Structure 1
Amino acid sequence: MEERSGSLGKAYFNKYDPVLASNESLKKRAKNNGNTEEGDGYKYRGRGLVHLTWKNNYKKASDYFGIDFVDQPDKAAELDYAVPIMIWGMMKGIFTGGKLPRYIYKSHINYKAARAVINGSDSADNIAFFAKLFESILRKTSNLTEEF
């Protein structure tokens, strides 16, 4: 999977760095999320389908999947790992503490609120629109019954 963050430049990720961040608040946030060395902001930048970020999250994924994402963070961008990381993170609340089953279960679907599972509420309306469109396409093209 091609990394989309490459065009931003290395300096963009200083805000995730415990040494290079522009203020103490950002430095503290970086340290609280496991980024403890200069260069960790860039090293543990967002990768994969959900942009796995922070050394702590790479460590959690390493522990769960038995793959060393801490020493090999680029592996998190590989589709064979990016998809399972996304599903695991959304179901277990790894990214923000929010879990997908809280927003989508049985006949209850709240795509807008479900945005909180990955990254707060930014672009929630847009993402909800595309989720509904995608669901509609799946329903129209699927041979499965509603009970499934």
Structure 2
Amino acid sequence: MLATAHHETGRTMQPVRETFAVSDERAIAILERAWAAKQLPWVKNPYWRPDELSKSWLGRGLVQLTHKRNYERIGQLLGTDLVTNPEVAMQPAVAATNMVQGMVEGVFTGYRLSQFFNEQKADWRNARRIINGIERADLVASYAKKYYAAISYTV
């Protein structure tokens, strides 16, 4: 989880907005430019575009929570209304709980932490599937091993 937060937040370990923009408006502009330039081939629908209530479901948090249905699902899991005000996903306590619960429960991609780490195995690389397929999996695994070594150190 620490390695995921490290990677997803650009090493800040603080909740961030997708594209690391300082505002939703700026993030939307960056995403629109990338979409127009066909730099987002994995995106089928531009989820960041404001809906009929002017809310954007762009990525926010320690892991990039995107799409309205995910804000609804995570909000229900956390007992927090993320639909009325999606910006709540940027609050550190909410972002941390979102990441932990989402990774433990398999909310993001269907994969759970326990599938990769248990008494029989520690699959550092494939654990990336919990969040984002195997995108940058070797890099995130290298971070994870370093965090694990640091917190496992005994004198």
Q: TM-score range by the shorter chain?
A: 0.7 to 0.9
Shift of 1:92: 1.3
Amino acid at match of 1:26: K
Structure 2, gaps ≥5 residues long:
1-13
Give the corresponding residue for 2:30.
12
Aligned to 1:43, what secondary structure does the other structure show? coil
Greater mean deviation of Cα atoms: 1-10 or 129-138 = 1-10
Where does the alignment leave 5 or more consecutive residues of structure 1 unmatched?
A: 144-148
Q: Does 1:127 align with 2:140?
A: yes
TM-score normalised according to structure 1 size: 0.74
RMSD: 3.0
- Report the TM-score when normalising by structure 2: 0.71
**SS of residue in 2 equivalent to 1:11:** helix
Q: Which residue number corresponds to residue 114 of structure 1?
A: 127
- Residues 1:104 and 2:125 are matched in the alignment: no
Q: Which residue of 1 aligns with 2:79?
A: 66
Runs of 4+ in 1 over 6 A off after TM superposition: none
Higher helix share: 1
- AA aligned opposite 2:72: K
Larger radius of gyration: 1
**Cα distance, 1:107 vs. partner?**
4.8
Relative contact order (alpha carbons < 8 A, sep ≥ 6): 1 or 2 greater?
2
Matched pairs, number = 129
Sequence identity percentage? 29
